[in-house]
Amino acid sequence: MFENVAEIVSKRFSENAERQLSQVQGDALDELVTLGEFIISEIESDPNLTDFLLFNPSIIPVYLIESNIDTFELLKLTHHIIAKLVKQRDLSQTENELFVKVWAFIQGYGSLISRGAVKYDRHLLLTAATQLIGEK
């Protein structure tokens, strides 16, 4: 049951993120930062819902089995943008390696913001994204 609810919430998040992404054209790094901003904004505005979406125990298997990303729209969108970034920038790291780095950073940074430990800083997000991709 929790997994079904998480899939619905993920679909809603993904649709809202895609509306914001429609304003960004072409550059995958800009798309990644925009997606990061969206997720951080959601974490900040509704930490309980995003905590449920990102960390509830029924979701963990989705991260473990790559074929499951099709049922989890936000994860699918994130992987799509990262795959595009790896290709555009001809990165040496794999999509999965970059996904783990980006996903961990966004969740951690969003958590710090939602708890009032730090204030959101777009420049920091862009700098971190650039460092995480580690271009050749």
Q: Where are the domains of the chain?
A: 1-133
Model confidence, pTM: 0.88
Q: First-to-last CA distance in the chain? A: 44
pLDDT in tens, 40-77: 999 999 988 998 888 877 777 766 656 556 678 888 89
pLDDT in tens, 26-48: 899 999 999 999 999 999 999 88
1-133 maps to CATH 1.10.357.10: yes
Q: For 38, phi and psi rounded to 5 degrees?
A: -60, -50
Quote the Cα angle for 60-4-113, to 5°. 55
pLDDT given for residue 93 in this prediction: 92
Give dist(CA 70, CA 88) in Å, integer: 23
Burial of 123 (0-12, 13-18, 19+ CB in 10 A): exposed
Contact 133, 85 (CB under 8 A): yes
